[in-house]
Amino acid sequence: MNQQPRALLTMPRFSLAKLPTPIDELPRLAQELGGPQLLVKRDDLTGLATGGNKTRKLEFLIADAQQKNATVLITAGGPQSNHCRQTAAAAAIAGLDCHLVLGGPRQPPTGNLLLDELLGATIHWTPKLQRNARMSELAAAMEADGQRPYVIPVGGSNSIGALGYVAAMFELVEQLHEQARQVDRLFFATSSGGTQAGIVLGATLAGFAGRITAVSIDQTPDDSSEEKFLAGVCSVANGAAELLGAHQRLRESDFDVNYAYLGAGYGVVGPLERDTVKLVARTEGLLTGPVYTARAFGAMLDQIRRGDFAPQETWLFWHTGDETALHAYAADLTPL
Ligand SMILES: *Cc1c(COP(=O)(O)O)cnc(C)c1O
């Protein structure tokens, strides 16, 4: 177990998360599958308008916004974005205004979108491919109006946000050490890549020895080739290493991404997600969300069903928290 870099401990951080999040066992599910021992890291319990992986990123992003004397946050995502929901909540806590650019078409307020509105965010509908341009336009208009906007990229996935998952990896390694556990494989959902960048860099710095597999949830048109996606993740990770004054640098070959579970695309709930939501809920009383965690969890279960494990292994699923979207997908989850 390695020490956290001093720069990570002293980095400006706005407290939002309830840490450490617990590691729970999933014994009934493991027994039903006849697979490896299964653990879940409960980042659905981070707090911040329920919880999720964006809480850890936002601790560093909000601190940076405050250092820059920002008065308003701007970010973007899909209509059911967990990142937007959590950014709206963080803005409320930090006393900042929040503008969300959501990829249209406009939807009725349910799931995360309902929560965005309740949390007081101003919503701007835009075609998906124009989200970044719309964020820049909004920022320019606000500046001209004397406000101080702070733009957070989609998913909070820049090097500052990724620090949240560098710190999270140190947290995990310390918990495993205290609990005298070893984890052979770790699975989680990747999309904009900041979580993955932080986890893989954090694993290198903290000395985590297990294999880390990120399950791709979507391929957006602008990163439709695997190489391009990984180039982005790699540069976010290396930017984070630089912020920490760490000498380590990662290469694309250091990242393991599974692109085999994209189904019919981002946010399209298919049998994998539907069956996983129900199985995990009914065996363990644990909720997974339709867009991210059920897909990634389902991918992990598929590997187990294919017999791709050794009997003594322990696998850990890193729950990134998206059950608030379930209601918006009720129709896709039936028959119940
Ligand atoms: C955003 C999100 C992810 C993916 O994290 P990235 O850092 O964008 O790759 C995974 N799970 C959930 C629930 C999310 O909201």
Tens of pLDDT along 242-281? 999 999 999 999 999 999 999 999 999 999 999 999 999 9
The CB of 78 under 6 Å from ligand 1? The reply is no
Q: Give percent of the chain above pLDDT 90.
A: 94
Tell me the CA–centroid distance for residue 177 and ligand 1, in Å: 26
Question: pLDDT tens digits for 216-233?
Answer: 998 654 555 556 899 999
The CB of 87 under 6 Å from ligand 1? The reply is no
Residue 57 CA: which ligand 1 atom is closest?
A: 7
The CB of 323 under 6 Å from ligand 1? The reply is no
pLDDT at 92 over 60: yes
The CB of 161 under 6 Å from ligand 1? The reply is no
Question: pLDDT tens digits for 155-165?
Answer: 999 999 999 99
Choice from 217, 266, 277 to test ligand 1 binding pocket (greatest atom count within 8 A of CB): 217
The CB of 86 under 6 Å from ligand 1? The reply is no
Residue 219 has a pLDDT of 64
User: For strand 23-25 and strand 37-42, is the pairing parallel, antiparallel, or unpaired?
Assistant: antiparallel
Neighbours of 262 (CB within 10 A): 16
What domains does the chain contain, in order, with CATH numbers? 6-51+157-333 (3.40.50.1100), 54-151 (3.40.50.1100)
Residue 104 has a pLDDT of 86
Which ranges of 251-310 does DSSP label H, i.e. alpha helix? 271-284, 293-305
Active-site pick, 81, 191, 192, 216: 81
The CB of 322 under 6 Å from ligand 1? The reply is yes
Question: DSSP secondary-structure letter at 245?
Answer: T
Residue 78 has a pLDDT of 96
Tell me the CA–centroid distance for residue 200 and ligand 1, in Å: 15
Tell me the CA–centroid distance for residue 319 and ligand 1, in Å: 10
Residue with the smallest CA separation from ligand 1 atom 10 is 189
Q: Which of 258, 315, 317, 322 is nearest to 290 (CA)?
A: 322
Tell me the CA–centroid distance for residue 94 and ligand 1, in Å: 22
Residue 222 has a pLDDT of 56
Tell me the CA–centroid distance for residue 146 and ligand 1, in Å: 33
- Residues 242, 246: Cα–Cα separation, whole Å: 6
Phi then psi dihedrals of residue 305, to 5 deg: -65, -30
How many Å is the Cα radius of gyration of the chain?
Answer: 19
The CB of 196 under 6 Å from ligand 1? The reply is yes
Q: Which of 31, 171, 40, 16 is nearest to 96 (CA)?
A: 16
Is 157 tagged catalytic? Answer: no
Residue 224 has a pLDDT of 54
Instruction: Name 114's Cβ contacts closer than 8 Å, sequence gap at least 6.
Output: none
Question: pLDDT tens digits for 168-200?
Answer: 999 999 999 999 999 999 999 999 999 999 999
Residue 201 Cα distances to 113, 131, 210, angstroms: 32, 28, 13
Share the mean pLDDT of the chain: 96
Question: DSSP secondary-structure letter at 22?
Answer: P
- The average pLDDT across 88-97 equals 98
pLDDT band at 336 (very low <50, low <70, confident <90, very high): confident
Instruction: Please give the model's pTM, rounded to 2 decimal places.
Output: 0.97
- The average pLDDT across 201-229 equals 84
Tell me the CA–centroid distance for residue 106 and ligand 1, in Å: 22
pLDDT at 203 over 50: yes
Six-digit token string for 203: 């694993």
The CB of 193 under 6 Å from ligand 1? The reply is yes
Virtual CA dihedral for 236, 52, 219, 275, nearest 10 degrees?
150
Contact between 86 and 43 under an 8 Å Cβ cutoff? The reply is no
Question: pLDDT tens digits for 33-76?
Answer: 999 999 999 999 999 999 999 999 999 999 999 999 999 999 99
